Structure 1
Amino acid sequence: MAFAGPSGTPDELFKAGRFKEADRGYEQVLEGDPDNAHAYAQRGYIALLSNGFADAERFLTRAVDLAPGDSASKERLADCFVRQDQLGRAVPLLRAAGREAAAKQYESVTGTPFEIRGPRSTRLPIDFRYPIPLVRASVNGAEPVAFTIDTYASLALTMETAEKAGLRAVATSTGRNPQETFTIYHGIVDSFRVGEFELRNVPVLWHKAEMPHPLGVPQPNGAFGTTVFYHFLTTIDFPNNALVLRRKTKAQLREFRSEAERAGADRLPLWLVNTHFPCTLGSLNGYGPKVASVDLGAEGAIQVGTRPEVAERAGLRPDHDRPAVFATAEATYPFVAPKAGVGNAVARDVYGWVSENFGFDERFGFETIGNFSQEFFKEFSITFDYAGMNLYISSR
């Protein structure tokens, strides 16, 4: 029997992004039904969203024991290990969940995964001539080339970049975009250098499909994002066109948090879905705060998807006379939001898109108010603290 508090059932609370309340509800469910696999699975997922690895492992392991066919919990338990660079522990879970290509890739790592070499921190310039920010990085000792930084990305390369780096595929899978279906190659990069940091033994993907780029200019050589960023205290300083990576030492975390407090930076919760989908709290025209995703590789400032009623609740007026194709969504319509915010960072007259097909609510399992991209953050500095699971945002 499902526990239902005055604000709803645990599943309803979870779907609404009220994770702490949902977790308390699932805890009460387990008090009356100690073998409830769903409650264990949800408590494990909630813990994983905030990098609560010990609780995530405990609850998800119990969920899988009670429901051996629960592939989602197996993948989340694998994710729990991957985020801690314990790739070997993820392999049998991914294989059992039908993720053979990822399993083969991770079991092919022979050294320390994501081994970091270099100083305490590095700072490198961001090129904003593309719609998506660019930095220069090096693969296997080659000359540095242009990479997009995209919070929704793992380390990915073009086919040409992979061939020049001498990469060998250990597995393949299939990818799709609106134009084509293509083969994705899975391998391991011996060395990935960004700024003064070198990362060793890094899982990587490559394919023949074109990476996003404006018409008339060359495509970038690759992309990287949260699977690299969560190994550091990562700041994307838009006003000063800089990417700053700091080692996640206690001293540097303490120093940064003191600096952020003195600067009056807003501190917001940070959640992470499936290794590379960061979320925080956002609002649209006074609707919110609600859970919002942060995708610094998307076009426009905001995308609102999957539920047209979000646009209605937020008082947005999509222009249905100007349909367009965006990503995998077939019917997208532009809007201008008079006001949008992430914490105390507020922008006005924000351009965005709305679509019934765009969004990740089904994949995430909870509702999002929308997706905030780099165009929204262009006046702000944003820092991802995956140790404390906080997102800091300030104007400079």
Structure 2
Amino acid sequence: MAKDGDWDRRSLLRGAAVVAGAAATAPLLGSAISYADADADALFKAGQFEEAGRVYEEILKTDPANVHAARRRGYVALLSNRFPEAEKYLMMALELAPSDRETNQLLGDCYIRQDKFALSVPRWQATGKDVYAKWFGAVSGEPYQIHGDTAQLPWQQMDPFPLVEASVNGGPPKRFLPYTGAPSLGMSAEVAREAGLTAVTQQQIDYMGGTAWQYFGVLDFFKMGGIELRNIPVVWTETDTPEEARDGVIGTWVFYHFLTTFDYAGRSLILRRRTPETARKVRAAAVRAGAVPLPLWLAREQMLHSTGSIAGSGPQVLGLSIGGSSETAAIMPEETVKQLRIRTDYDRPLETFGHSHPQVVHPCYPKEIRLGDAAAEGIYSGMNAKMPVAPYGFDVPATLFHPFYKPYNITLDFTGMNVYIARGKAT
């Protein structure tokens, strides 16, 4: 783990099927937690975000100095990319407690999702993430400039992970892993050298029992089929050399600038410019294909969530780790398998690494995993006893991975904040 708490890109990919969360939320600050706070927190923890938001608003009417309620109310809005609303309440919390690390982190995330990098810099400084502050402060002009309307990138392979081709600073095609579990655009140190990248800052990170240096810079342009992105923050690590046929990773920060479809059944990644007309067409096509619009929530800069169920649990918040590499359809904490009585094979542990730390995963077999109308019965999954139940302040009983999505196409609408999953190829 990096000194400021960020995972390095390589170990994030290696651990994609092992752990699906970050650290639990920071200790609560501000006024003492009241009964009403506890009720709102219980709703939030259960994934009843809008209901929790309304209770937090009621708390603020009678206790306007309640930092916790203001921060959580802003967090509820940020989960759904409602930026003016998120800023209103997070700024309220910040005025009440300027040094509150959690508030500063949420507000920094709120700004980078809107490409307001300069506004995010003091927020990262306040959280102690000096690397982020220097990195985003080094991006001048408009970031993530989009040229072109649509890119359909054929997958060069399906397993052990999907790969697509893209060009870095006009160079020859390189093979990139699309993965929502990664935040930024990342690449190998060799590709970064070929592209002439210069680091604006760096940090030492834990790496597979040792340490390594991670570098941050700004890429001039990145071409993906019919789309070219310009002025993009990128990261590379000294240990990242091309291997396993992979030259880099495309993360969620790139995907949320587009209407993004992971077309597993059609073996392609489809990126469309986010315009009202394109959004209308994509949503209509998804509905015609039988996809029910599901809520999309974005937590901690890149982690996607929606509503699904596991082993007859009823509606729950599930993590969506799309792309990436995994042999298991889902990873879940031990509490999930115990509460839902999911058959787990404790006699066949898999000793591996997740985020550069030793992890042990046990095979488990939920009777059903469901996301909308997409379902898998008795599919091979994994239980990790070290996986936190509520990594972002709300319960996540399981996170879905690569094998679950294979019969389907999944469209991520970051404007309407919906997920559409339908069987077969995207149309």
Give TM-score, length-normalised by structure 1. Answer: 0.93
Determine if contact 1:287/1:314 at 8 Å carries over to the other structure: yes
2:34 match: 2
SS in 1 for 2:314: strand
Which of 80, 83, 93 lines up with 1:63 in the alignment? 93
What one-letter code is carried by the residue in structure 1 that aligns with 2:395?
Answer: E
Q: CA deviation at 1:255?
A: 1.2
- Counterparts of 1:1-396 in structure 2, within 5 Å, are 2-4=34-36, 9-118=39-148, 120-153=149-182, 154-210=184-240, 218-296=244-322, 297-305=324-332, 307-324=333-350, 325-327=352-354, 328=357, 330-359=359-388, 361-362=390-391, 364-396=392-424
Q: CA deviation at 1:192?
A: 1.0
Deviations 1:364-387 (A, max 9, x none): 111101110111000011000000
What one-letter code is carried by the residue in structure 2 that aligns with 1:275?
Answer: E
SS in 1 for 2:367: strand
Q: CA deviation at 1:281?
A: 1.4
Structure 1 window deviating more from structure 2 (33-42 vs 345-354): it is 345-354
Q: CA deviation at 1:185?
A: 0.4
Deviations 1:226-281 (A, max 9, x none): 11000000001111101111111001011111222222212110000122111111
What one-letter code is carried by the residue in structure 2 that aligns with 1:141?
Answer: G
Determine if contact 1:282/1:369 at 8 Å carries over to the other structure: no
Q: CA deviation at 1:106?
A: 0.9
SS in 1 for 2:362: strand
CA distance in 2 between partners of 1:191 and 1:359 (Å): 38
Determine if contact 1:3/1:28 at 8 Å carries over to the other structure: no
Determine if contact 2:291/2:372 at 8 Å carries over to the other structure: no
Structure 1 window deviating more from structure 2 (328-337 vs 251-260): it is 328-337
> Runs of 5+ in structure 2 lacking a partner?
1-32
Deviations 1:338-364 (A, max 9, x none): 3111111111221111112135733x1
Aligned pair count reads 387
Deviations 1:166-194 (A, max 9, x none): 11001112333444322110101111111
Q: CA deviation at 1:89?
A: 0.8
CA distance in 1 between partners of 2:348 and 2:56 (Å): 45
SS in 2 for 1:391: strand
CA distance in 2 between partners of 1:284 and 1:164 (Å): 45
Deviations 1:21-73 (A, max 9, x none): 11111111112111111100000011000001001111001101101221111
Q: CA deviation at 1:156?
A: 0.9
Deviations 1:58-112 (A, max 9, x none): 1001101101221111111111110011111111111121111111111111231
1:360–1:287: structure 2 CA closer, same or farther, 3 Å change rule?
closer
What one-letter code is carried by the residue in structure 1 that aligns with 2:277?
Answer: A
Structure 1 window deviating more from structure 2 (248-257 vs 386-395): it is 248-257
Determine if contact 1:302/1:351 at 8 Å carries over to the other structure: yes
1:251–1:49: structure 2 CA closer, same or farther, 3 Å change rule?
same
Give TM-score, length-normalised by structure 2. Answer: 0.87
CA distance in 1 between partners of 2:282 and 2:158 (Å): 29
SS in 2 for 1:200: strand
Determine if contact 1:329/1:357 at 8 Å carries over to the other structure: no
- Percent of aligned pairs sharing the same letter: 39
What one-letter code is carried by the residue in structure 2 that aligns with 1:263?
Answer: A
C-alpha RMSD of matched pairs (Å): 1.8
SS in 1 for 2:71: helix
CA distance in 2 between partners of 1:12 and 1:46 (Å): 13
1:298–1:43: structure 2 CA closer, same or farther, 3 Å change rule?
farther
What one-letter code is carried by the residue in structure 2 that aligns with 1:302?
Answer: A
What one-letter code is carried by the residue in structure 2 that aligns with 1:102?
Answer: Y
**Higher RCO (CA 8 Å, separation ≥ 6 residues):** 2
What one-letter code is carried by the residue in structure 2 that aligns with 1:393?
Answer: I
What one-letter code is carried by the residue in structure 2 that aligns with 1:149?
Answer: P
CA distance in 2 between partners of 1:47 and 1:277 (Å): 15
1:315–1:264: structure 2 CA closer, same or farther, 3 Å change rule?
same
CA distance in 1 between partners of 2:111 and 2:78 (Å): 10
Deviations 1:277-313 (A, max 9, x none): 11111211111321111112241333434x4121122
SS in 1 for 2:102: helix
> Runs of 5+ in structure 1 lacking a partner?
none
2:29 match: none
Determine if contact 2:259/2:279 at 8 Å carries over to the other structure: yes
CA distance in 1 between partners of 2:285 and 2:245 (Å): 37
